[in-house]
Amino acid sequence: MQANVVTPDGTVFDGEVNMISVRTIEGELGILPRHLPLVTPLDIGPVRLKQDGKVQLIALSGGFMEVRGDEVNVLAESAELPSDIDITRARAAKERAERRLQEAKKENIDFRRAELALKRALNRLDVAQG
Ligand code: ATP
């Protein structure tokens, strides 16, 4: 299948894959060739693109996936290859978010925002470290 991952900044991945797995808002989903047509929202999480023998990881910060024929298109809010992830920046974002979670009240909008920022930072650190 042909897989495509794009963000507002440009194309992050474009290539032939045997399988793609993503985190939808309802859980993990693996797509093999000849999958039924599908459009689904994606959660913050890793994308795994399997190419003969190797796996390309991408840190995804949410978006949408469209499966159509032998084409999978991921439209991402942001997406980074492991080599493009700035670990120092992700660690700083993680610490900032953790601090905000301690300060903000649970029902507060800043709390939810900090939770999402923490999730993005942890995902980037996971993907950067394989
Ligand atoms: P930060 O607080 O560090 O900006 P964030 O989670 O708020 O993190 P996003 O809004 O998800 O950042 O992303 C903004 C842009 O910065 C996107 O283009 C994203 O790819 C890029 N980006 C964010 N964090 C990193 C990182 N640690 N390494 C590389 N690129 C990053």
pLDDT tens digits along 70-107: 999 999 999 999 999 999 999 999 999 999 999 988 88
The confidence score (pLDDT) of residue 10 equals: 98
Distance 127 CA to ligand 1 centre (A): 14
User: Could you confirm whether domain 2-82 is CATH 1.10.3720.10?
Assistant: no
Pocket test for ligand 1, best of 77, 112, 120 (most atoms within 8 A of CB): 120
Which residues does the chain have with pLDDT short of 70? Answer: none
Task: Report which of 91, 118, 13 is spatially closest to residue 57, judged by C-alpha positions.
Answer: 13
User: Could you confirm whether domain 86-128 is CATH 3.40.50.300?
Assistant: no
The confidence score (pLDDT) of residue 109 equals: 84
Distance 37 CA to ligand 1 centre (A): 31
Distance 11 CA to ligand 1 centre (A): 16
Domain ranges, ordered by start, for the chain: 2-82, 86-128
The confidence score (pLDDT) of residue 102 equals: 93
Atom of ligand 1 nearest to the CA of 85: 28
